[in-house]
Amino acid sequence: MKDKTKSLRTPLAKVRGLGSAKEGAEHWWMQRLTALALIPLSIYVIYSFFAEVVYGGYDGATVWLRNPFAALAAILFVGAGFHHAISGLQVVIEDYVHGECLKLASVIGVKFIGWSLALLATIAVLKILFFANMPMPHA
Amino acid sequence: MLLLTISRIIGHNPMPPAPTAKSARPLSPHLQIYRPQLTSVMSILHRLTGIALALGLPVFVVWLMGLAAGPQTYGMLIDLFKTPVGQILLCGWSWAFFYHFCTGIRHLLWDSGFFLGIKGVYATGWIAFGVSTLVTAAVWAHLLEWI
């Protein structure tokens, strides 16, 4: 049956279903995707925290993160965690901060600070992975 | 007419709908009017715990940096976590994590089309509340016994 309603939208645009803004679902989708990733990652990090860190102290924690797979899991946890936190905070800011200028500044601030902290955490994990418990060269 | 159009464009409303005694237009009921329900309280808590966890994430980064810095720095950091303020904060963050974890799974289930009826919403709500509180209690019973 032929649709008799007149529309200027092309069939391709209808199929893509993105509307005039061309995007929008990406933020929503990434928040769900990182949530899904964080289920096993956070369980693993918390389990390891109990199994290796609480009982083993500094030595236990460094032995844990010197395992490449543990370091990978920790970095993935940091990446997914910060992505999830940043997109969550962005939604909260967009909902409650009403001044356009302050809103934009807050979102930019959250993204800059958030991703800097995520990279800092990654550098820390890599430093532990490669250099923990190594004798200092000029000690 | 032109003035009205301009004021609309720049976002200035010439007739502010301020609810005074003279023009008491009905306002949609807001948070302080509604009786708190499990659904609304849990929704607000999901957001609040999310914000709390986002603010707690830098502490996790500091923990990693302390670990990367070496045993002395790490020891000082752990002493800080063991102070009463540190313990209260960590306890709060752990409950916030388990709560947000449970209600987050609840949200993912909703997104997939499950438990969308009133019964499902309430049942999963109580389960999320119960599980997160029980797990937090179990974790801290374990931690305090060890310390």
The CATH number assigned to the domain holding A45 equals 1.20.1300.10
Q: Which residues of B15-54 are buried (b: 16+ CB within 10 A; e: fewer)?
A: eeeeeeeeeeeeeeeeeeeeeeeeeeebeebbbebbebbb
Residue A111 lies in a domain: yes
Check whether B120 has a pLDDT greater than 80. Answer: yes
C-beta atoms of A35 and B57 within 8 A:
no
For residue A95, give the chain B residue with the closest CA. B47
Of A95 and B14, the structure prediction assigns the larger pLDDT to A95
CA distances from B112 to A17, B49, B105 (A): 20, 23, 11
Chain A contact probe: residue of B12, B65, B107, B132 with most A CBs at under 10 A = B65
* B10 at interface of A, judged by CB pairs closer than 8 A: no
Q: Is the ipTM of this complex over 0.90?
A: no
* A37 at interface of B, judged by CB pairs closer than 8 A: no
* B142 at interface of A, judged by CB pairs closer than 8 A: yes
Cβ neighbour number for residue A28 with a 10 Å cutoff: 12
pLDDT at position A80 is 98
* φ/ψ of residue B14, rounded to 5: -65, -20
pLDDT at position B145 is 81
pTM: 0.82
Chain A contact probe: residue of B61, B95, B107 with most A CBs at under 10 A = B61
Phi-psi group of A6: left, alpha or beta (phi > 0 → left; psi -120 to 50 → alpha; rest → beta): beta
pLDDT at position A117 is 98
C-beta atoms of B67 and A35 within 8 A:
no
Check whether B13 has a pLDDT greater than 60. Answer: no
Residues of B in contact with A39 (CB under 8 A): 101, 105
Look up the CATH number of the domain holding residue B112: 1.20.1300.10
Residues of A in contact with B107 (CB under 8 A): 35
Residue B47 lies in a domain: yes
Across residues B126-133, what is the average pLDDT? 97
Which of A14-18, A47-51, B29-33 shows the lowest per-residue confidence on average (mean pLDDT)? B29-33
Residue B123 lies in a domain: yes
pLDDT at position B135 is 96
pLDDT at position A135 is 61
C-beta atoms of A82 and B57 within 8 A:
yes
| Cα distance between residue A74 and residue A84, in whole Å | 15
pLDDT at position B89 is 97
| DSSP assignment of A36-59 | HHHHHHHHHHHHHIIIIIIHHHHH
* φ/ψ of residue A66, rounded to 5: -85, -10
Residue A79 lies in a domain: yes
Check whether B3 has a pLDDT greater than 70. Answer: no
* B105 at interface of A, judged by CB pairs closer than 8 A: yes
Choose among A36, A58, A82: nearest Cβ to B71: A58
Count of structural domains within chain A:
1
- Domain span at residue B94 reads 37-143
- Domain span at residue A32 reads 23-131
C-beta atoms of B67 and A132 within 8 A:
yes
pLDDT at position B85 is 96
Residue A58 lies in a domain: yes
Question: Which of B67, B141, B81 has its CA nearest to residue A60?
Answer: B67
Count of structural domains within chain B:
1
The predicted-structure confidence for A90-137, as pLDDT tens digits, reads as follows 999 999 999 999 999 999 999 999 999 999 999 999 999 999 876 655
Check whether B86 has a pLDDT greater than 70. Answer: yes
| Cα distance between residue B135 and residue B132, in whole Å | 5
Percent of chain B with pLDDT over 90: 71
Residue A84 lies in a domain: yes
Check whether A41 has a pLDDT greater than 50. Answer: yes
pLDDT at position A2 is 57
* B54 at interface of A, judged by CB pairs closer than 8 A: yes
Residue A6 lies in a domain: no
Q: What average pLDDT does chain B have?
A: 86
